[in-house]
Amino acid sequence: MNMWKSILVAAVMSWAYSVTLGLVFAIAVSENHSPRTLLLPDVVPVAVIGSTIVAIAITPVALWSVRTGARNLWFYGPILWIALASYIVFVFPKVGYYGRYGLLFLAVLGLVVLGFIPAR
């Protein structure tokens, strides 16, 4: 895979996963835990902007994890997304404010592990 295609795949997947996790986060921290929270003013723009900042920060690690091949990221990426979404839904409400550091740590750790999995 050439370098530009690797960068594009890593950036797109990083942004897509970050934005969807940001929307899950917005639902999880709302009082009623309902998707209707996304209809409130400024919830979606704030989630998208915050998630884009995180995606930009984490894209170099995602690019590193693509070095073994994009097929690994396409296969194991959704598993990592499910693990992070589960953390947001089940763990974050219990740990509160400091849960975001654990979430970022798990995301980086997951991407690093993906980088060490041999190409399929």
Which tokens in the block code for residue 55? 């995606």
How is the chain split into domains, by residue range? Answer: 3-116
Among 53, 114, 55, which Cα is nearest to 80's? 114
- Dihedrals phi, psi of 31, to nearest 5 degrees: -65, -40
Q: What value does the mean pLDDT take over residues 77-103?
A: 86
- Dihedrals phi, psi of 32, to nearest 5 degrees: -100, 0
Q: What value does the mean pLDDT take over residues 88-103?
A: 83
For residues 93 and 108, the answer to whether their CB atoms sit within 8 Å is no
Quickly count: other Cβ atoms within 10 Å of residue 88's Cβ: 20
At residue 1 the predicted structure's pLDDT band, cuts being 50, 70 and 90, is low
Q: Helix, strand, coil shares of the chain as percentages rounded to 5?
A: 90, 0, 10
Supply the DSSP symbol for 1: -
pLDDT digits (tens, 9 = 90+) for 5-35: 888 888 898 899 999 999 999 998 888 888 8
Q: What value does the mean pLDDT take over residues 53-58?
A: 91
pLDDT digits (tens, 9 = 90+) for 34-55: 889 888 899 999 999 999 999 9
